[in-house]
Amino acid sequence: MEQFSPAMVWFLFGLVCLFLEFIIPGVVIGFFGAGAWITALLTLFLPLPLEQQLLIFIAASLVLLFGLRRNLQRWFFKTVPDALDDQNQFIGERAVVVEAISARFPGKVELHGTRWEAEAEEEIEVGTPVVIRSKRNLTLIVEPL
């Protein structure tokens, strides 16, 4: 049986690491795979002893890990701001009262096909068009048009 060259061993180890990156979340193991491929490339052209190969592998992996991990995480795991947290959302838009609103008790309005809890400083009857003046958490503050 033919013995594998060091370059082939490092390449296969890198391939296994990159495969594991898809299975195990965290954006860490792939950098060791890239470090293994850098080591494979160097051992393909230079006859390096095992100690130097390990040093190159460790150094390349750690430089890639600490140099690129944060940027790759931002790129792969972009966060989308939650639309419900935007307190300026819907201001100035029009809605229709579907449950009467009084100065003391909230009612409901329909906006974009969804019912929202709504408050007002005056009494507003069902069917009245309103404009949204502000938003407090999930409650819309409205006034009649």
Count of positions (residues) in the chain? 145
- Which pLDDT band holds residue 66 (cuts at 50, 70, 90)? confident
Q: Where are the beta strands (DSSP E) in the chain?
A: 94-99, 107-111, 114-119, 129-136, 139-144
Percent of the chain with pLDDT over 70: 88
Strands 114-119 and 139-144: parallel
| pLDDT tens by residue, 73-119 | 666 665 555 555 566 788 899 999 999 999 889 999 999 889 999 99
Domains (range + CATH), the chain:
6-76 (no CATH), 83-144 (2.40.50.140)
User: Could you give the CA distance from residue 89 to residue 110 in angstroms, rounded to a whole number?
Assistant: 15
User: What's residue 1's pLDDT?
Assistant: 43
For residue 135, list its beta bridge partners: 140
Looking up tokens 């180890």 gives 13
